Structure formats: C-alpha cells, structure tokens
Amino acid sequence: MLVSNRMKGLHPYVPGEQPKDRVYIKLNANENPYAPSKAVQKAVLNFVKKYPEKLGLYPDPDSNELHAAIARMLNQTGGVLCRAKVSSKEVSPAEEDKIPFTVTPDMIYTGNGSDEVLSFVFYAFFDSGKKFVLPQFTYSFYPVYAGFYDIPMDQVPLKDDWSLDKEEMLKRAKQNDSGLIFANPNAPTGLGLSREEVRQMLLNSSPDQIFIVDEAYVDFGGESCIPLLKDFKNLVIVRTFSKSLCGAGQRLGYIVASPELVNVVTTVKNSVNHFPLDALAQVSGTAACKDISYYVNTSKKVAEERDAFYNFLQEKGFYVIKSQTNFLFAKKNGIKGEDLYKSIKERGILIRHFNTPGIEDFVRITIGTKEQMQKLKAAFEDTLDTLK
Ligand SMILES: *Cc1c(COP(=O)(O)O)cnc(C)c1O
C-alpha cells in the first residue's frame, strides 16, 4: 500500500467552480466583485520595486505590522464595515458596533486564508475522543476538517425558518462535554444571530469549552462578537480578508481572541509552517487595513445591491432568506436548483447550487457590482420565461 490508512478518512472540500473554458461573470464563490484599493495595489508594486531582495528572504513569521494594522482597523470600524461611518478619511464605528475596549495586536493571529486558520483552530481546540457541535447546514469545510483530524461531529439540524437551533446546540455541547462552532452570519443561509443572542449562548455554556464564531461575512450587515471577548475567555472569532476586504487571491485570514488562545494557535502554526503568510500578503493586508474607508464603501455597495436583488427575487415569486451577507439563498417552487443554475450558466453567469439533501432546491447567489446584477436580473427574467 502506497498511501496511509489516514487517507481513507479524507473527503476534500469542493469549491465553487473556477472554469477556464469561457469567461463567465462569477457569482458562485462569494468573492468580492471589486479589486483591492489603489493604495493596496501601490503598496504591492512599491514593495517589489523598492525591496526586491526581500522576496528572497523569509517574511516576518509573526506578521507584527499586519497584526497592529488589523487591531487598529477593528477599533476604527467596530468590526462591521457596512455600518461604519466615513467622513473624508476618518472612519468610525456605528454606535451599536463600538467595541468597549481596545483590541490589541496580541489578540490577533493571522494565517493563509481563514481556511488554514480554521484548520489550526480545529487542531488546537477539538479532541478526537469527543463530538464537537456544529449546525447541520453551515460552512461545508468544517466537516472536512473533522474528517482530516478524525474528530467526531454532532450536527444539529436548523430550525424550520433556517435559523440556528441555539438551545439544541447548547444542550448537545453540554451532553458531549465539548466545544462548538458556527458561522455568524451563517452560510449558505445568510442568516445571523445578534450579539445578544450569542452572549446568552455563552452565558449558558461552559467557560471550559471552546466557542468558535466564524465571522467571514459579518462586514455586510451582521453583528460582530468582538465586544464579547472582554467577558468570555473561551471565545474565538475567525475572520477573513477574502470577502469584505476584496482579498480572496491574497489568502489572508485571522482570529481575534485572548492572547492566551492566540498563543495556542501560534504553537500549532509553528509546528506545521513557520511562515504561512508570504511577504506580499503581509504588505497588501497591512495596506488594506490602512485604507479601510475604501472597503467600507464597497461593503455598503454590496449590501445595497443585495437588498435590491432580494426585492427582485421576491417579486418573481422566490422564497428568499433575508441575508446579512454578500450572497442570497433562494428557491422557487417547481424549479430545481440545478436547472436554474444550468440555465443561468448558459447565459454567461455562474451561481451556485448544492446537491446536499435538504438544500438541493436552493441556489446561492453572490452579490456583484450594479452592472453584474443588472445582467443577472436579465438572465433570471429570460430563464423564468423558458423554464415555466
Ligand atoms: C469564505 C469562507 C471562509 C474562508 O475564507 P478564506 O479566508 O478565503 O479561506 C471561511 N468561513 C466561511 C464561513 C466562509 O464563507
């Protein structure tokens, strides 16, 4: 046998398709339709021009400058971009998003996309002898890590309105004597819990069990749990540059947690890859955090287009979940998700559908620019005429 027994347990994640045969409008992977800001582009070019020798040297293994920039950005925005206020170049948080303490760089850990960060978090905080708790429908990478690390899962069905069953999740975590993880807002539904709801969950769970909240989409209208870090030392918040910071190609993810838990994850990193962030990712990430007003504005635009498309789908008779993210999850009676996806693809636009039982009727639509959404509307109108 050439391969290890361990390989049998691997069931890799399947990302939204990245076709090369034809140029499609890509609304299938929750990427941001806007390019990184001009300041980011300039910082990367300058770095290569001024310090080419640094491309031949190892980068800062601790990403110190980037961690300071992320901490500052979170304090400035409250961790929810689409509600932050911009006046000329000053950025400040909306009243309801203000963080009641200062986020410091030692509360930040960064990695090669939040996918890698999550992998290390799973390794650090879940045990193979105990079932950890997660929602039945959530980010589909969590079950992949469970297989990878051989950690058993306890998947809790969503409620009839597609929201998380908080009570059941807490009950099972107690029964299993284990931690839990969920995305907030959740994927692929787009629904989020309020900070107060998460606080209540934390109050009713063991301080000795890890509580992981994945805030990949929070900048588009959710409520961040960063303010709860003051009272709950078992809370780990996972975030990414891939969605609201227009950075999916730069592979930058991070956690916000107590310095003690940051150190735990850093120990995992230093046992696998000392340098998960290359020099250019550190430069571009730092520049993005310093030019955050640009991303506040793009997040607001995405949220506006999302709400407009929500209304459009409702007018067309779709069942659409009210979303706090950069995507919509919708279905229409009598039309299969896969057929809708295929028909929209023929019209040059990619959206996503899932073959997973329970959600196979739905499509997930990433929100693009105004122009892209106009084209998508036309494709939907056309498709609904032919599929009727
Ligand atoms: C997109 C996504 C991620 C992964 O982001 P990367 O930083 O690109 O690896 C993590 N969690 C959720 C819920 C996501 O939707």
Ligand 1 binding residues, C-beta < 6 A? 30, 113-115, 139, 183, 187, 214, 216, 240, 242, 248, 253
Contact 128, 122 (CB under 8 A): no
Structure tokens at 28: 């299938």
Measured CA to CA, the distance from residue 305 to residue 219 in angstroms comes to: 15
CA distances from residue 357 to 79, 137, 337, 344 in whole angstroms, order as listed: 34, 10, 12, 22
Stretch among 19-28, 113-122, 168-177 having the lowest mean pLDDT = 19-28
Report the percentage of the chain scoring pLDDT > 90: 92
Contact 149, 323 (CB under 8 A): no
User: How does DSSP assign 318-384, residue by residue?
Assistant: -EE---SSSEEEEEBTTB-HHHHHHHHHHTTEE-EE--STTSTT-EEEE---HHHHHHHHHHHHHHH
How far is residue 228 CA from its own chain's centroid? 19
Report the percentage of the chain scoring pLDDT > 70: 99
CA of 141 from ligand 1 middle (Å) equals 9
Q: Whose CA is nearest to atom 11 of ligand 1?
A: 216
Per-residue model confidence as pLDDT tens digits over 18-70: 777 778 999 999 999 999 999 999 999 999 999 999 999 999 999 999 999 99
Neighbours of 361 (CB within 10 A): 18
Confidence (pLDDT) at 13: 83
Contact 226, 256 (CB under 8 A): yes
Ligand 1 atom, smallest distance to 114 CA: 7
Confidence (pLDDT) at 388: 66
